[in-house]
Structures are given as C-alpha cells and as structure tokens.
Structure 1
Amino acid sequence: MEMNATYTSFVAVGDSFTEGMSDRLPDGTYRGWADLLAARLAGRAPGFRYANLAVRGKLIGQIVDEQVDLAAGMKADLVTLVGGLNDTLRPSCDMGRVRGLLEEAVARLAPTCTTLVLMRSPGRQGPVLQRFRPRMEELFAHVDALAAEYGALVVDLYGSPALGDQRMWDVDRLHLTSEGHRRVAEAVWQTLGLDAEDDWRAPLPPGAPARWAARRAADLRFARQHLGPWIGRRLTGRSSGDGLPAKRPELLPYEPPRP
C-alpha cells in the first residue's frame, strides 16, 4: 500500500456506520466519518471525487450484491469497506458464510484501487457487546487475515476504550455520536499515514455518574423507541434500509454540505 499519498478519489462501502448515522446535520441528513474524511482529503487534491454507497441495515451479502461491483468499477484511489457487523448481531448467524462473503468483497475490491481500508469496528461498552463479542472478534480476526493476504490497511477501532465509552454513542446505542464519527475520521486519516490533527484515542473527561432514576428512564426510552422496533424488523425480515438509495451513488467532485 502506498502511504501518505495524495488521493484524488474515494469510495466508501458499507452499512449505517459508513452512511453516517447518527451524525445528523441541520437539514436532517447524516454526515459521518466518511464525509468528514472526504472533506479533509478534498483539501489536499483539487478535483477530488467522492462516492458513498453505504446504506443502513445492510448485511454483508447485500453489500456484496449491491455495492461491491459498483465500487470496483469506479476504480478509485481509496476504498473503505466495513461490513458484516450487522450479521453478527442477528440471532442466527452463519459466520462461515459471513467470512466467505467478506473475502469475496475484498478480493473484488483490492485490485481496483490504490489503497483498500478495512476496519475492526468500535463496540459500545455494555451487555450487548458482551453477548456478541465472540462473533465480533471472529469477524475482526478474519479482517486482519484478509488485510494481510490482500495488502489492505486495518483501522483498529475495536480496541479503543475511548470509542467504547457510552458517551460516544447515540441514544439508540447502535451508532456513534458526532464526536465518535469525528474520531473515526481521524483514525482513518492517521492510518493512511497523514499528519495527525489530534489523538483520537484520548479518553473523554470524567463525567458525573448518572442517577439510578435517570438510567432507568433512559433504558425505558431506549427500549420503546429503538429496541422494540429493531426486534420487530428482525422478526419480520425487514431492514431499516429497505428501499433507501445510497447517499452518494456516483463518483462525483466533492462539494461540502450547505450550512
């Protein structure tokens, strides 16, 4: 992999993490780490082009079927691929199939770009992570192996205590806050060998512990607004991304969002 390069094009592939939930802009759209990274890369390369094919809720099979060939055909300098975590959170998950599909995606993308970036996704501290940790760590071990085989870079977000801090996660407990996305963008930036702006691993300052009543109220609100609908979609085979288009389906010159 060529380090510290001037990238003139970037394609992001994945699910809600790469789409940018829950980093919401004033107009209601999502920004996220990939948009933040694109903005910084555009400052280094006139005519910089960017596409983001990610759609929330997508499983690795859907990413392979709907995004990978499209991304490969764009022949961008830089491609990021993050997928498979939604599969690990399903009650029934064939990890052998997930590993095989992820390798298929990497094998298709790696020859078409200068730099392919994979990730070990962050995990929020709490009982959900503990329940699914074995699957997640199996997935991330496979990510490391694929990177070694195909010459990709790996951004290790999973090992960051700062990104595991509950304050880095939105009220849905599945998606990073704006500060979390900013740190992910910085982590990718540094993995590309570019000059650090700050320490993305730095812990948040100590906060006052939440009172018991406030914690219970937050738990009830989470269950009603987020957990219940999530379980309903799992039981009916639906996804939050059904029918939604990619946020930036074409590799076009980057333009910052309007304030």
Structure 2
Amino acid sequence: MDNETTAAGAEQFRPVFRSYVAVGDSFTEGMCDELLPDGHYRGWADRVAAALAAERPGEEFRYANLAVRGKLIGQIHREQIADAAAMGGELVTLAGGLNDVLRPGCDIEQVERLLGAAAETLLAGGAGEGTVVMFTSTDPTRRLAGSARLLPAILRMKGYVEGLAKQHPRLRVVDLFSAPCFDDRRLWDEDRLHLSPEGHRRVAAAVLEALGRPAGFDWRAPLPPAAPRGRAERIRADLHWLRLHLGPWLGRRLTGRSSGDGRPPKRAELLPYES
C-alpha cells in the first residue's frame, strides 16, 4: 500500500466522530510516552482522542481505552472486544498480535483468525456503522539485531490486515511497516520495544491522516541526523538494555507472567473526554 494510495483514500473518508474506543496491548495503552497527572502514560490513542475532541468544540466527545500492556491477541479478543463492540464507538482502533509474534512457536494462523474475528466483531458493533483502524507493524529488522526470525510472521500479518481492509470499506490501515522513520532509535524508548514520545506523536498523526485529517506535519519524515555513537557507548547501551529490559522480559516469559497481569485498563468506560 503506497503513500499516495493511502492519502487519496483518506481524502475521501472524513467522518466526524463523537466517540472513540481503543483496544490492544502496550502499543495502544501508550507505554513510554509522557506520564499524565494520574500516573498513566499518554500515548498515541490519547493524542488522537484529543485531536478528534477538538473538532467538536462545545460538544461532547467520549473516549475509552481498554488496552493493557503485555496482552496476547487471544486475551485481547477474550477480554476487550465484546466490551468495545457493546460500547458502539463510532471509531475503534485495533492493534494486537505482535506480543504473540515475539514468542517462539507463535501460531500465526491462530493469530490471524483471532485478529480477523476481532475486526469482524468491532465492525458489526453498535449500529454496524463505525470505522475500525488497524495497523501494520514496523519492520524490526532495520533496527534490532537478531530480529530477522520475526519478519515472516510480521509480513504475513501485514498482508492479512491489508486483505481485511480490501474486504471492508469501513476498515482503514495505518502502514507503519513502510515508514523508514521508525528505524530511528530516537522514536523508541530505551527498552527498544515501546515508542518514545516522538514515536507516539507520529503514530497519532498517521492515524489522523488515515481518517482523512490534514497532516499537521510529515510523520514519515526522518529526524535530523543524530550525533554518531562510539563503540564504547553502543556497548554500554547494549549492556544496560540486557540488564534492565531483556533480562526481566525473558524472566516473565519463563515463568508465564505478563507485565499486564492484574492491571485494569486506564479508561474502562466510554466517558466524556477532557484534555
């Protein structure tokens, strides 16, 4: 899906939304964006909600975010989708499956089945007139050593999501895979898995563009060149990452735990949004 095709399609697709429901995992929860006064991360979904609410000054705009970090697609399907569909949001964003892909032995066919079933349920939710936005993953091989094993599954998911969009005119796809700006480490937190504030800002702009909103900036544009890092600095960063991030992640995998265990969604109800 090239940028010109995406932009042309978006220009023909500019509904005004009165409600928005976000479902997914840490990507949608907003991990590693700036912290809000209530202790939650802001995240790209909150940024999208703020932009859509600003289109309706003096009118009510409602927003729910059911996403919880660490969730697999089966958990998202089981714990979030029915509730999201029942809310009848005029806009729903759905992101999931990458946590499954990160685990050895991922059943990619099952991931696709559950992702497709979730999309179908959300498209039929409410009065069956809402818009659903889905995503293609960024390409980890361009920035993470040892991630080549993930690429076949990521490409399959990309093709699957784009195929769903061809079947459903109310389903839009945000193509992050084809945006080289996400190769830049500055768009990622130091854990190398979650977006930085700048990464969240760009994903929010990409979602709004997919919904036909005029771009406030070119979210695909590269950042200014970064100062080169010496070998010693790179080694220190890698050791820091191994100790503080990769080690604990592997520990949770080995013990069957998740960073989202027992954690409630940050906005479990579809309530008026206040920036």
**Residue correspondence of structure 1 range 184-195 to structure 2 within 5 A:** 184-195=203-214
Unaligned runs of 5+ in 2: 1-9
Equivalent of 1:67, from 67, 76, 80?
80
TM-superposed CA distance for 1:147, in Å, is 1.6
Match of 2:27 in 1: 17
**Residue correspondence of structure 1 range 79-94 to structure 2 within 5 A:** 79-94=92-107
Equivalent of 2:226, from 207, 211, 224?
207
Match of 2:265 in 1: 246
Are the counterparts in 1 of residues 70 and 259 from structure 2 also a CA contact under 8 Å? Answer: yes
Q: Distance in 2 between matches of 1:158 and 1:65?
A: 27
TM-superposed CA distance for 1:128, in Å, is 4.2
Equivalent of 2:195, from 176, 185, 188?
176
Match of 2:130 in 1: 114
Q: Distance in 2 between matches of 1:130 and 1:161?
A: 17
* Number of residues of Structure 1 aligned to a counterpart in Structure 2: 256
Q: Which moved more, 1:145-154 or 1:120-129?
A: 120-129
The percentage of counterpart residues that share the same residue type is: 55
Deviations 1:203-247 (A, max 9, x none): 011111111111111101100000000001111111110000001
TM-superposed CA distance for 1:93, in Å, is 0.5
**Residue correspondence of structure 1 range 9-158 to structure 2 within 5 A:** 9-25=19-35, 27=37, 28-45=39-56, 46-112=59-125, 113-124=129-140, 125-151=143-169, 152-158=171-177
TM-superposed CA distance for 1:26, in Å, is 5.6
TM-superposed CA distance for 1:167, in Å, is 1.5
Are the counterparts in 2 of residues 58 and 86 from structure 1 also a CA contact under 8 Å? Answer: yes
Deviations 1:15-43 (A, max 9, x none): 00000011031644201100000001000
Q: Which amino acid aligns with 1:178?
A: P
Match of 2:254 in 1: 235
Q: Distance in 2 between matches of 1:194 and 1:26?
A: 25
TM-superposed CA distance for 1:105, in Å, is 0.3
**What is the root-mean-square deviation of aligned Cα atoms in Å?**
1.4
Q: Which amino acid aligns with 1:57?
A: G
Are the counterparts in 1 of residues 33 and 196 from structure 2 also a CA contact under 8 Å? Answer: yes
Are the counterparts in 1 of residues 136 and 158 from structure 2 also a CA contact under 8 Å? Answer: yes
Q: Distance in 2 between matches of 1:229 and 1:128?
A: 18
Partner SS for 2:31? coil
TM-superposed CA distance for 1:127, in Å, is 1.7
TM-score, normalised by the number of residues in structure 1: 0.95
Equivalent of 2:239, from 206, 209, 220?
220
Are the counterparts in 1 of residues 36 and 42 from structure 2 also a CA contact under 8 Å? Answer: no
Q: Which amino acid aligns with 1:88?
A: V
Deviating above 3 A after TM superposition, structure 1's stretches of 4 or more consecutive aligned residues are none
TM-superposed CA distance for 1:73, in Å, is 0.2
Q: Distance in 2 between matches of 1:251 and 1:101?
A: 24
Change (3 A) 1:31 1:123: farther
Unaligned runs of 5+ in 1: none
